[in-house]
Amino acid sequence: MRNVMSSAFHPLRPHRITRSSRQVRGKRTAWALIVFGIVLACVELYIVYSAL
């Protein structure tokens, strides 16, 4: 009986992995937005200084 119960709880483990992957995906998205903002700021500064 215990083996049947433990095998029934195994499908719940991948759900925990998907939660952690969501956190990793959110961190990747945040870093991508930060890098995009920095690149955009550099491009804007380049345009402003080239216009002077």
Number of domains in the chain: 1
Beta strands in 1-52 (DSSP E): none
Q: Is 17 a domain residue?
A: no
Q: Is 40 a domain residue?
A: yes
pLDDT digits (tens, 9 = 90+) for 2-44: 555 555 555 555 555 556 788 888 899 999 999 999 999 999 9
Domain range enclosing 33: 23-51
SS3 content of the chain, % helix, strand, coil (to 5): 90, 0, 10
pTM: 0.55
